[in-house]
Amino acid sequence: MIVFPNCKINLGLRILRKRADGFHDLDTAFFPVPVTDALEIIPGGDTLTFTSSGINIDNTNNTCTKAYELLKKDFPQLPGAKMHLHKNIPIGAGLGGGSADGAFALQLLNNYFNLGLTAKQLIDYSLLIGSDCPFFILNKPCIASGRGEILEPVSIQLTGYSIYLINPGIHINTGWAFSHITPSEQVTAVRDIISQPIEKWKEQLVNDFENPVFIQHPSVGAIKETLYNQGAVYAAMSGSGSTVFGIFKKTDTPLFHFPVNYRVMIAAS
């Protein structure tokens, strides 16, 4: 059995406050994007055997192996298996690829071994893997609050647009990014902004991580500027970076001249 974990982008990302548990309350919209990894499972052995190809990851400690260990703890009868991940989504890029892999692994194990877990139970397990993981259980446009686990599906219509994702290969440490944020609750709700026509997003829909990241890595900010210069209706950094995306009308054909080590990914909405 094989599944294809997809990535996400953040439409707006405001950090509202730091919580007593050390996490932050945020306000964002998650939007699924069809740039994917590939995750396969076959029966075999007494425990999990995990291998990977593509982008290099830790084969002994990753979100897929964590998903198996979480379920094995509560379902000791869970058989061994061979799991292989072909990693295509850039790592540490603000696209949630690792979170997607963990969430899809939970669903894959649940379906393959008939564990009978509900979507709510899978969301609870996924939150133990990471704050972004619950979104990938629903995997539809959502307003996210809390630390990202409180999800409310929302209608975001991007039919007629293409999404260009530019990854410069710069790894942004999420902890560093949060340490350079000053939380503020005096902001317009993301829900209210995205309910407006996309042409109005540019001046209102903000990612709080952009300022510190662009100062530390001016080349990331230059990507956003290039996307707007090429006619993007809206452009922003996703998550804590470093991937920057631009939303273009499908009738437009932007011409990019990024360095050869940059990765350009195109996804139809």
Known catalytic residues are 8, 132
Of 75, 142, 66, 73, the residue nearest 104 (C-alpha): 66
**CA atoms of 216 and 218, how far apart (whole Å):** 6
**CA atoms of 91 and 93, how far apart (whole Å):** 5
Whether the Cβ atoms of residue 239 and residue 131 lie closer than 8 Å to each other: no
**CA atoms of 166 and 258, how far apart (whole Å):** 9
Long-range contacts of 185-192 (CB under 8 A, 24+ apart): 185/16, 185/17, 187/14, 187/16, 187/27, 189/27, 190/11, 190/12, 190/13, 190/14, 190/27, 190/28, 190/29, 190/143, 191/29, 191/143, 191/154
Whether the Cβ atoms of residue 111 and residue 80 lie closer than 8 Å to each other: no
Q: Which two tokens stand for residue 94?
A: 């603000």
